[in-house]
């Protein structure tokens, strides 16, 4: 095998490789011999088919496999002998080959850059800390009680007012028509007076209606209504009120706590406090992680493989184009021309690749790895996101190992972040919940 370097600029390398006809012939003969040992053809005993017959019948088909094997082996040897670290799969192009002749091809690749590691102890960060207040816990309990309210029949005969619930029968027709439209009639439907969930203006017109009374109301379907045959059209509903109800919120006490499966009200408050604290701690981690990555981004100014940037940018731009087509562009992006957007998102792609390479190098140098136990926990956690389908999800990951491997990246990144935070200068700062939940200033 002859190797000639024709490109050596920055991270790019290029090699012209020639594999001799003798090497190719030897590789083909080896494959043919292996095939002949197991080949069964009429008129020949198993394994006794003459080499010339095997070559005549299968030589052409095997040659393509031999060439692919020779290219792969030669490429791997070039990379190994020169201690190269390819950033992406090398690009291979056959230059020349004729049966019985040498194989000439070229290999072009980009290398991973030399990545200087930052001085973690020089990175100063503030970690926001917030805790739920008693008032927040009380509000959360009131919300739970509100969601557990029950409906009680109103015995007194009176007109319904806002917040009451009327149990009604109704029939809907489009204006000017005599037959009800499909889906426009219901029996024993509980409707909150002036509540949400119906056609705009529907529930408000039930105000003042008493059980046993009937009323005709007119409403208009929104122009963007889901059923095209009704969108933007006027409809008339004949409504008969049958029963009046009011909601009754349970008293917040130890008895209420027991309906939630807890011993007493203090236990409810403890569970809510711990839950909110986990939520706030998660937000705090997101903020300090973002600050850490921003600090690393300022220090990470090494060269980035162009192919990796292009691949990342292509994925980002595909989503941006879809958003443009659907009219879902972010407010910050609206009004910008395509060249400006491409430049900005290319910079984002470069930042992502650069940070990804830096985190990978930090993990490699410091021996940070994701254990099989950690990966297993991640798979189980993913399965719990699909209640009732946990077994199917676990079976999917077992049959598709690559899908499970996709969970490894976030775990690895978090472990590297934890490693860096241990070495950085981190100061805890008490903040309000409003400050903690506020979006980043850059957004």
Dist. CA 215–CA 242, nearest whole Å: 12
pLDDT string in tens for the chain (443-residue length): 899 999 999 999 999 999 999 988 888 778 777 766 666 677 676 666 666 666 666 666 678 888 888 899 999 999 999 999 999 999 999 998 888 889 999 999 999 999 999 999 999 999 999 999 999 999 999 999 989 988 899 988 899 999 899 999 999 999 999 899 988 999 999 999 999 888 999 999 999 999 999 999 999 999 888 888 999 999 999 999 999 999 889 999 999 999 999 999 999 999 999 999 999 999 999 999 999 999 998 888 899 999 999 999 999 999 999 988 888 888 888 888 889 999 999 999 999 999 999 999 999 999 999 999 999 999 999 999 998 999 999 999 888 888 888 899 999 999 999 999 999 999 999 999 999 998 876 43
Query: Residue 358: what pLDDT?
Result: 94
Q: Does domain 263-437 have CATH number 1.10.3120.10?
A: yes
- The answer to whether residues 258 and 250 touch, using CB atoms and an 8 Å cutoff, is no
Q: What value, to the nearest 5°, has the Cα angle with vertex 118 and ends 359 and 443?
A: 65
Torsion of CA 233, 238, 243, 247, to 10 degrees: 10
Query: Residue 53: what pLDDT?
Result: 65
Query: Residue 221: what pLDDT?
Result: 93
Q: Do domains 150-248 and 263-437 have the same CATH topology?
A: no
Dist. CA 19–CA 96, nearest whole Å: 11
CA R_g for the chain: 35
Q: What are phi and psi of 434, to 5 degrees?
A: -60, -40
State the alpha helices, DSSP H only, in 12-168: 21-38, 51-81, 134-147
- The answer to whether residues 142 and 129 touch, using CB atoms and an 8 Å cutoff, is no
β-pair partners for 191:
166
Q: What value, to the nearest 5°, has the Cα angle with vertex 408 and ends 407 and 409?
A: 95
In the chain, domain spans: 2-110, 150-248, 263-437
CATH classification code of 150-248: 3.10.50.40
Query: Residue 442: what pLDDT?
Result: 47
Query: Residue 443: what pLDDT?
Result: 39
CATH number for domain 2-110, candidates 3.20.20.140, 3.40.109.10, 3.90.320.10, 3.30.70.1050: 3.30.70.1050
Dist. CA 357–CA 374, nearest whole Å: 22
Note the Cα 263 to chain centre separation in Å.
Answer: 39
User: Which of 415, 416, 417 shows the shortest CA–CA distance to 374?
Assistant: 415
């Amino acid at each position: 095998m002859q190797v000639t370097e024709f490109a050596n600029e920055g991270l790019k390398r290029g090699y012209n490789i020639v594999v001799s006809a003798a090497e190719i012939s030897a590789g083909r003969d080896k494959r043919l011999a292996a095939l002949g040992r197991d080949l069964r053809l009429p008129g020949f005993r198993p394994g006794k088919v003459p080499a010339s017959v095997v070559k005549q019948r299968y030589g052409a088909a095997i040659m393509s496999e031999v060439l692919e094997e020779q290219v792969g082996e030669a490429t791997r040897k070039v990379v190994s002998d020169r201690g190269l670290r390819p950033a992406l799969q090398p690009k291979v192009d056959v230059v020349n080959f004729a049966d019985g002749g040498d194989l000439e091809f070229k290999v072009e690749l980009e290398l991973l850059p030399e990545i200087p590691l930052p001085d973690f102890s020089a990175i100063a960060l503030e970690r926001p800390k917030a805790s739920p207040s008693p008032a927040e816990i009380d509000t959360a309990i009131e919300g739970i009680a509100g969601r557990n309210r029950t409906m009680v029949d109103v015995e007194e005969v009176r007109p319904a007012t806002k917040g009451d619930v009327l149990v009604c029968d109704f029939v809907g027709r489009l204006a000017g028509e005599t037959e009800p439209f499909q889906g426009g009639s219901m029996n024993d439907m509980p409707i909150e007076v002036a509540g949400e969930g119906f056609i705009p203006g529907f529930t408000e017109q039930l105000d003042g209606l008493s059980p046993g009374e009937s009323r005709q109301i007119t409403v208009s379907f929104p122009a963007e209504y889901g059923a095209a045959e009704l969108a933007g059209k006027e409809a008339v509903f004949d409504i008969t009120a049958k029963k009046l109800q009011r909601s009754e919120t349970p008293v917040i006490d130890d008895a209420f706590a027991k309906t939630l499966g807890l011993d007493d009200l203090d236990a409810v408050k403890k569970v809510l406090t711990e839950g909110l604290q986990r939520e706030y701690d998660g937000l705090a981690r997101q903020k300090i992680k973002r600050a850490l990555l921003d600090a690393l981004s300022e220090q990470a100014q090494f060269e980035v493989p162009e192919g990796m940037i292009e691949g990342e940018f292509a994925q980002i731009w595909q989503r941006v184009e879809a958003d443009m087509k659907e009219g879902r562009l972010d407010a910050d992006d609206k009004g910008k021309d395509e060249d400006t957007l491409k430049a900005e998102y290319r910079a984002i792609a470069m930042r992502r690749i650069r940070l990804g390479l830096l985190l990978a190098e930090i993990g490699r140098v410091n021996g940070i790895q994701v254990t099989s136990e950690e990966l297993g926990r991640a798979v189980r956690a993913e399965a719990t996101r699909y209640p009732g389908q946990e077994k199917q999800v676990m079976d999917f990951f077992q049959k598709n190992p690559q899908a499970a491997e996709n969970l490894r990246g976030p775990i690895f990144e978090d472990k590297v972040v934890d490693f860096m935070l241990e070495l950085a200068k981190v100061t805890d700062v008490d903040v309000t919940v409003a400050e903690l939940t506020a979006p980043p200033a850059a957004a």
